């Protein structure tokens, strides 16, 4: 897919519009997914590794999915009710609390987004943050949620937390986060930076620098392959070997 993407980006914009209008891009994605499925089945369907064989069987029966397990079928976006504030911001009721989406999200998209987020945190999911009951955030914890997006992790533990730092570089998520956490506004701080090794350069901040005069006991990081840079940026202080009281959640 990388080669196809490079070719697509090199096309003049008018050519891209033409390809979209006649469905060439969609056809290309279908062909690519079908080729990926065939390669996956050929390599893993008869694997001696039970986990790989199980995933291959799922793909054979259900097609390619980001999380290819039977438990995913529990999460049907059509069963999710999306509401709207008077000014158009969508929200769902998550464990008795309002959780907001971006204003330009359609109801169908936000329902799908929410169902997929729930699916990721199913105990059977490889993406689940908290799989060990002994590591459930405790009363008085201080959470840094890196890559907060809708802020579901922080929302799940906001009543236990003393403070929640919501690191989210996309401005489109800032107003939804403010609305979601309005009942606990004194507990939260939205941090509009990427997290990495670059200090305060290029809209990127180091955890060591940010928490120089602040406490933190839980770091949840879902930051699109920037995890290593994040660890390096917290290596002098946050992630020292003697930080026994710090919990780190990385999917």
Higher pLDDT, 124 or 18: 124
Burial of 207 (0-12, 13-18, 19+ CB in 10 A): buried
Residue among 151, 171, 21, 194 at smallest CA distance from 104: 171
Is pLDDT above 60 for 225?
Answer: yes
Q: What is the DSSP code (8-state) at residue 187?
A: G
**What pLDDT score does 199 carry?**
55
Residue 1 has pLDDT above 60, yes or no: no
Bridge partners (DSSP) of residue 94 are 97
What's the pLDDT tens digit per position in 108-132? 999 999 999 999 999 999 889 888 7
What mean pLDDT is reported for the chain? 87
pLDDT of residue 87: 95
Please tell me the pTM assigned to this model. 0.82
For residues 156-171, give the mean pLDDT.
Answer: 96
- The total of other beta-carbon atoms located within 10 Å of residue 247's CB is 20
Q: Give 30-79 pLDDT, tens digit per residue.
A: 888 888 899 999 999 999 999 999 999 999 999 888 889 999 989 999 99
Question: DSSP letters along 110-123, please?
Answer: HHHHHHHHHHHTST
């Amino acid at each position: 897919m990388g080669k196809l993407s490079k070719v697509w980006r090199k096309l003049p914009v008018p050519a891209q519009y033409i390809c979209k209008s006649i469905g060439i891009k969609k056809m290309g994605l279908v062909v690519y997914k079908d080729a990926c499925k065939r390669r996956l089945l050929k390599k893993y369907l008869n694997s001696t590794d039970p986990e790989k064989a199980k995933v291959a069987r799922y793909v054979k029966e259900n097609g390619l999915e980001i999380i290819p397990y039977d438990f995913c079928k529990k999460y049907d976006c059509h069963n999710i009710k999306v509401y709207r504030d008077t000014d158009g911001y969508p929200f769902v009721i998550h464990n008795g609390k309002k959780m907001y989406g971006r204003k330009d999200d359609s109801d169908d998209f936000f329902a799908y987004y929410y169902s997929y987020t729930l699916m990721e945190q199913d105990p059977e999911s490889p993406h689940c943050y908290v799989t060990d009951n002994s590591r459930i955030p405790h009363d008085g914890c201080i959470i840094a949620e890196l890559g907060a997006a809708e802020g579901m992790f922080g929302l799940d533990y906001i009543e236990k937390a003393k403070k929640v730092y919501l690191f989210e570089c996309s401005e489109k998520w800032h107003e939804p986060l403010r609305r979601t956490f309005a009942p606990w506004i004194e507990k939260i701080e939205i941090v509009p930076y990427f997290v990495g090794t670059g200090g305060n350069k290029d809209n990127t901040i180091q955890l060591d620098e940010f928490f120089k005069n602040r406490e933190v006991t839980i770091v949840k990081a879902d930051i699109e392959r920037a995890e290593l840079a994040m660890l390096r940026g917290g290596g002098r202080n946050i992630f020292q070997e003697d930080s026994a009281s710090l919990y780190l959640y990385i999917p």
